[in-house]
């Protein structure tokens, strides 16, 4: 009889131990195959530095909404039902999680203009259950437009390709304001799903765009290959919010080091799991932005990158 009890109790004890390890939930657009592996690797590396090993003393739940932002609240609710200790998301995921829970800590990675969107009360003391990393997307948009114009000063018609669910509501308006200050014409083109790309590319061409600016957000990140190929086919100098498309043949990028942001998100996870309230953790804003230029692409487009611009480049792709 004692042996029988031992056989039954041991598996139950092991099961109970598994249930006690903390869980982190990722809530993202796209799919698990959408080029996000380097970001998750950076996050896990950040966790390891702080003593957290996936499937040993911490579990990670991944939830992807594909190309349907309407699914995000449902997935957020699912993570809450799973009793995750923390939810991590970019702009759209954080907004969805905010609507579902006021108690589960939420980490932004990276959210656009968090105060302006009402995600946090202020950056120094965010209050509530949300903290993390945020960017001033309006300022970055203006800077990207300025850099693209500096690289292509004779091109005055620029198309903006952007994803409204993945950014903040006034992103296009703020970029238009920056375009007027530079004296260029901006043609704003929305892309909400993969089915929109054909029409969006057609709109860019009908608008006689001479260059292309691609907005931030995970959705466009996951479709960067189609965008780079379109820009190359139609000889459109292009600027992006992240480096990867430039490596693939885009002209230039200016923005945050996204893998580093995911690595930094692990710091917030560690603090929260050790008892710090998210509302007491200041929201961090990036202080370092990378400018990357592909000189091979510039030559193919017949562009000469001004020396004043080359001196500011953080990385050159030959």
Between 254 and 6, name the one with better pLDDT: 254
Lowest mean pLDDT among 66-70, 75-79, 91-95, 232-236: 66-70
What is the predicted pLDDT for the residue at 264?
Answer: 96
pLDDT digits (tens, 9 = 90+) for 283-315: 999 888 899 999 999 999 999 999 999 999 999
Helix or strand (DSSP H, E) at 189? strand 185-190
Q: Are β-strands 290-294 and 252-255 bridged in parallel, bridged antiparallel, or unpaired?
A: antiparallel
pLDDT digits (tens, 9 = 90+) for 36-72: 888 999 999 999 999 999 999 999 999 999 878 889 9
What is the predicted pLDDT for the residue at 14?
Answer: 41
pLDDT beyond 70 at 86: yes
* Nearest-angstrom CA–CA distance, 205 and 200: 9
In CATH terms, 16-136+257-280 corresponds, of 3.40.50.170, 3.40.50.300, 3.40.30.10, 3.40.50.2300, to 3.40.50.2300
* Nearest-angstrom CA–CA distance, 132 and 266: 10
The mean per-residue pLDDT over the stretch 252-258 comes to 92
- Asked if the 137-256+289-317 domain carries CATH number 3.30.70.1560, the reply is no
pLDDT digits (tens, 9 = 90+) for 197-228: 999 999 999 999 999 999 988 788 888 999 99
Lowest mean pLDDT among 135-139, 274-278, 312-316: 135-139
Confidence of residue 33 (pLDDT cuts 50, 70, 90): low
Considering Cα of 229, then 261, then 22, then 113, what sign does the dihedral take? negative
What is the predicted pLDDT for the residue at 129?
Answer: 97
What is the predicted pLDDT for the residue at 37?
Answer: 87
Domains 16-136+257-280 and 137-256+289-317 share a fold: yes
pLDDT digits (tens, 9 = 90+) for 142-195: 999 999 999 999 999 999 999 988 787 788 999 999 999 999 999 999 999 889
Contact 241, 186 (CB under 8 A): no
* Nearest-angstrom CA–CA distance, 161 and 198: 12
Q: What percent of the chain has pLDDT over 90?
A: 72
* Nearest-angstrom CA–CA distance, 103 and 86: 10
So where are the chain's domains? 16-136+257-280, 137-256+289-317
């Amino acid at each position: 009889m004692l042996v029988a009890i031992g056989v039954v109790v041991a598996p139950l004890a092991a099961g109970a131990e598994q249930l006690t390890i903390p869980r982190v939930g990722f809530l993202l657009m796209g799919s698990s195959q959408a080029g996000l592996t380097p970001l998750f690797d950076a996050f896990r590396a950040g966790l390891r530095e702080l003593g957290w090993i996936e499937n040993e003393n911490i579990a990670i739940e991944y939830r992807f909404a594909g190309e349907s932002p309407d699914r995000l609240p449902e997935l957020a609710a699912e993570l809450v039902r799973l009793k995750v200790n923390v939810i991590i998301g970019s702009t759209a995921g954080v907004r969805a999680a905010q609507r579902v829970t006021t108690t589960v800590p939420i980490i932004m990675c990276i959210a656009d203009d968090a105060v302006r969107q009402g995600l946090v009360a202020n950056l120094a003391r965010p209050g509530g259950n949300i903290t993390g990393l945020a960017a001033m997307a309006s300022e970055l948009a203006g800077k990207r437009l300025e850099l693209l114009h500096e690289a292509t000063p004779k091109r005055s018609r620029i198309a903006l390709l952007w994803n409204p669910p993945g950014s903040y509501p006034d992103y296009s308006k703020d970029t238009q304001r920056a375009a007027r200050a530079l004296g260029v014409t901006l043609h704003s083109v929305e892309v909400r799903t993969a089915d929109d790309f054909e029409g969006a590319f057609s709109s860019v061409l009908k608008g006689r765009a001479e260059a292309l600016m691609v907005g931030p957000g995970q959705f466009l990140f996951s479709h960067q290959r189609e965008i780079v190929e379109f820009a190359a086919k139609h000889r459109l100098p292009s600027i992006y919010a992240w480096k990867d498309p430039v490596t693939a043949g885009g002209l230039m990028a200016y923005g945050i080091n996204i893998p580093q942001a995911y690595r930094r998100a692990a710091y917030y996870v560690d603090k929260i799991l050790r008892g710090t309230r998210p509302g007491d953790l200041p929201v961090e804003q990036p202080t370092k932005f990378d400018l990357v230029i592909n000189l091979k692409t510039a030559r193919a487009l017949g562009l000469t990158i001004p020396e004043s611009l080359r001196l500011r480049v953080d990385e050159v792709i030959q």
